[in-house]
Amino acid sequence: MAEDRVARAPWLVLGAVVASTVLGLLGTDLVLPAVPSLPEALGGDPARAQLVLAAYVAGSCVGLLAYGALGDRVATRTLFLASLLATAAVSAACAAATDIGALIALRALQGAVASGPAVFAPGIVRALFDEARAVRALGLLGSIEALAPALAPILGAWLLLLGGWRLSFALIAAAALALAAMVRASGLLPQVARRPRGGYARLAADPVFLRYALSQAFVLGGLLTFVLGMPAVFVHALGGTIADFVVMQVCGIASFMLTANLAGSLVARLGAERLIGLGTGVAALGAAATLAYALAGGADPRLIAALFVPVNAGLGLRGPPGFFRAVMAARGDDARGSALVVLAILAAAAAGTAAAAPLIDRGLAPLAAIALALHLLAALCLATLPRLRGGEG
């Protein structure tokens, strides 16, 4: 009966999966406005308060690997529900924390338990749709995920004014509990096939999987490196304001959403491999044009925003088919494959940000050069690593 309901309502299932995945993103972005007020409320200092964010990211990395490993041993529905219920419980505990040390520890646990939907979402999408519609679904998922970092801090700031820092955690707890109840009552989630074949080591040594996982990570890592560095570049190096960064982000998100939602129909016309190559090239050209503009002494925030558009458009074109092909290349080990792709993205963004940090006061050129280097690594992966053949996966 449950499988019949899934077959009749695949887009309703996708809605539940998208909402659950976005909930994991809210763990950082919704809480962000409350961080400066935590030392006064719970003790400690601003440096320890920042660990409230870092602990969540670190916990998420552990959770990704753990859910990926559990995915071939425990039913997808069970793990998905367990993730939502644990997120509700730990978020409620965060809301009740009485000192900064306890909150930091709980945040690490919250990040770990909340990462389940991100691991299982691509496999569920693959079970629901054929490749063209799966790419369309992943494009929709990516579009909503792109909006979350822009909108969640606004909601978080409103919640902070309305009821203090605890209210954000209470909202996450309530939302997770409501989603768990909806998924449990409807029985909507499909069971994802599990065919364990060697674990993480096999995937890390598979050049076909690495083609898609690493190229995806380098393109998105290059974009995130640029985004994370640009507020400081605009304000400290270019004499601009944070409003310049907001305009750049709005232009980027809009272009990403447009192309990501076109990717499904373009796959049917051009094929997945051609679209992945096209998107990677467009993003790299945008990054190269930004570096050329910086080396020429350019500093107009409007032109920087315009040059950021093709980077996001390229990611929108290649992101959905690239992620889907990475899951296909995992050859049935969907959960581990998804976990490794997300971890690779986090690692690429972290490495790029760390490399750019000492140079951030030198202006646009160093940041643009590091971002371009990551985009070129993505192109190198596509040029040298073998592609998925025929109906593999």
User: What pTM was estimated for this model as a whole?
Assistant: 0.84
Greatest Cα pair distance, the chain, in angstroms, is 64
Given phi > 0 = left and psi -120 to 50 = alpha, else beta, which region is 385?
A: beta
Dihedral Cα 252, 150, 212, 59, nearest 10 deg: 150
Q: What is the pLDDT of residues 64-115, one digit of tens each?
A: 889 988 877 888 888 999 999 999 999 999 999 999 999 999 999 999 999 9
Residues composing the chain: 393
**Which has the closest alpha carbon to 238: 365, 369, 372?**
365
Nearest of 310, 319, 301, 317 to residue 252 by alpha carbon: 310
Rg over alpha carbons for the chain, rounded to the nearest Å, is 21
Whole-number pLDDT of residue 391:
47
- Please give the single-letter amino acid code of residue 332: G
Q: HSE-up of 101 (CA within 13 Å, CB side)?
A: 0
Question: What pLDDT shows up at residue 28?
Answer: 81
Residue 177 CB-density burial (10 A; 0-12 exposed, 13-18 middle, 19+ buried): middle
Helical residues (DSSP H) of the chain, grouped into ranges? 2-8, 10-29, 38-42, 46-70, 76-95, 100-114, 116-128, 131-163, 166-186, 199-204, 207-232, 242-270, 272-295, 301-329, 334-356, 364-384
Q: How many CA atoms lie within 13 A of 35 on its CB side?
A: 21
For residue 258, the surrounding DSSP H or E stretch is helix 242-270
CA 177 distance to own-chain centroid: 22
Instruction: List the chain residues with pLDDT less than 70.
Output: 1-9, 150, 186-198, 390-393
The distance of Cα 134 from the centroid of its chain, to the nearest Å, equals: 17
Alpha carbon of residue 38 to chain centroid: 26
**The predicted structure's pLDDT at residue 195:** 55
- The rounded distance, in Å, linking the Cα atoms of 144 and 240 is 29
% helix, strand, coil for the chain, step of 5: 85, 0, 15
Q: What is the pLDDT of residue 292?
A: 98
Residue 230 near residue 356 (C-beta atoms within 8 A): no
CB count in 10 Å sphere of residue 332: 18
